[in-house]
Amino acid sequence: MSRRRTVLLVALLLLAGGCRCPRDEGRSTPGSTGRDGPGARLGARLITVASKQLGPQPVVVLLPPGFQPGRSYPLLLAFSGRGEAVMAPERGAWGWARDYGLARQLEAVQRGRLTARDFGGLVSPSRLQRYNRSLAAAPFSGMVVACPHTFDLLGAGQLRRTDYEQFYIEELPRELRRRYDLRGGPEALGVDGVSLGGLWSLLLGFAHPDRVGQIGALQPAVTPYLEQLVALAADRLEALKRRPLSLVTSTGDGLRPVVTRLSEELRRLGLPHSFTLLDGPHDYEFNRGPGGLQMLLWHDRKFQGQPL
């Protein structure tokens, strides 16, 4: 086989597998509480948080532009997709900050006016106007976004993992609130994620509505656990009715039928929620554009008590 054909074959295999190869894993920064990596200039840094059952866990934290120590920010836990879940934990934790460009998106919403370019072109004029009207009425207030390595529930073959649930919903928020002086209480904690990450945010929100204030899910990969999630929501229905809930899919999302079915099942239960159809595929282009921006804006509006 010629060298040219060999290089082409390797490239095709990488593309077929959805590979996003790491460039570097971050570097040590003297005097920091964690390690800065790609996106550090935009407020992203890698820290380690101890868990009684899991041991040291890597978490990438994105501080809002102009972060002010002592100001009481809310906290958003953002979970990445399966592509990052199967990576080494330190690499996978960078999913939202590096691969999905969330630090750049934080700067865009902080700027106060979005453009079609911020969405990679994947936005209709009417939706763009709606976002900008919302930002004009109430500027983005800022939040701390924490991105732990996402455990692969799809590969595990079971929905419940109490060790990871305890870390995500108890140990991690407690440490981040202590470290960054964040607001306490469930009303100051949001969960969200894309695909596998969306499954995790629904599980955490449905199983622990006493600890989570608002629940979002982007293109959630709920297919193998749909009935269990609906049963969990039914069991916690009265508590969940007091929690804002957002389900998001997109025009090119292969999971759109099952996300739509989940929405229908929740409406049959009488659980209020928003169901949003955005533009884009089930891929990184969606995460880097409409997905990440919708996540930030929806949670910020709910933290402020404002409509989107």
pLDDT tens track, the chain, 308 positions: 443 333 333 333 233 333 333 232 333 222 233 454 444 445 799 999 999 999 999 999 999 888 888 889 999 999 999 999 999 999 999 999 999 999 999 999 999 999 999 999 999 999 999 999 999 999 999 999 999 999 999 999 999 999 999 999 999 999 999 999 999 999 999 999 999 999 999 999 999 999 999 999 999 999 999 999 999 999 999 999 999 999 999 999 999 999 999 999 999 999 999 999 999 999 999 999 999 999 999 999 999 999 99
Amino acid at 287: N
Contact 266, 239 (CB under 8 A): no
Chain mean position to CA 176: 16
CA 89/CA 59 separation, integer angstroms: 9
Chain mean position to CA 37: 19
Instruction: Read off the pTM.
Output: 0.88
Q: In what order do the strands lie in the sheet with 274-281?
A: 35-36, 44-51, 55-62, 144-148, 75-79, 189-193, 214-218, 245-252, 274-281
Show Cβ contacts of residue 159 under 8 Å, excluding neighbours closer than 6 positions: 153, 203, 225, 228, 229
Residue position matching structure tokens 């009207």: 133
CA 51/CA 21 separation, integer angstroms: 28
Contact 192, 198 (CB under 8 A): yes
The CATH code for residues 32-304 is: 3.40.50.1820
Contact 31, 94 (CB under 8 A): no
Half-sphere exposure of residue 76: CA atoms within 13 angstroms, side-chain side = 31
Q: In the chain, where are the structural domains located?
A: 32-304
Encoding tokens for residue 66? 């102009």
Q: Which helix (H) or strand (E) holds 82?
A: helix 82-85
What is the DSSP-derived secondary structure letter of residue 194? B
The closest alpha carbon to 76, from 145, 7, 147, 15, belongs to 145
